[in-house]
Amino acid sequence: MNFAEYIRDVPDFPEKGVVFKDITPLLKSNEALVAATNELLAKVKDLKIDKVVGVDSRGFIFAPLLASKLNAGFVPVRKVGKLPYITAAENYDLEYGSDTLEIHLDAIEPGEHVLVHDDVLATGGTAGAVCKLVEQLGGKVVQCNFLIHLSFLNGQDKLKPYQIASLLTY
């Protein structure tokens, strides 16, 4: 399937000069949604995964789908102040600002194998922060996977030595 046909470019969002890759056309097509889920699963078929971490907010779409198919738990990583229990926090930079992410302290057990999922890999700040949170809790990141990789922003450099995978690369 040509997933690029289901990605819409939105210029100047969320701020002037940024071209946002909108995945909602893919999500509204059952055929594309199922195919994308299956392709993401194929990228981890040989990996042991105990937990799938989904990144606030669009990472919450595919991460639970992947977790259910992998017989793994789902862990949400949220923006600061959104989780109700005791959390660990990590600050990070993104292509148009900075933010903080949090994870529940009891979300990942030491030694668990973790798949990190988000919709887009851009500068790598978000995924890098999530990997740090996973490792703070004693988890092992086995892969970071994405629907879209914006390779021209060099986010892959911030994710060394982690394995990365994506459905589309721009």
Cite the active site residues: 58, 95
Q: For residues 110 and 138, what is the distance between their CA atoms, to the nearest angstrom?
A: 4
Q: 73-79 and 51-55 as β-strands: parallel, antiparallel, unpaired? A: parallel
DSSP state of 75: E
Q: For residues 88 and 131, what is the distance between their CA atoms, to the nearest angstrom?
A: 12
Q: For residues 150 and 67, what is the distance between their CA atoms, to the nearest angstrom?
A: 24
Grouping H, G, I as helix, E, B as strand and the rest as coil, residue 65 is helix
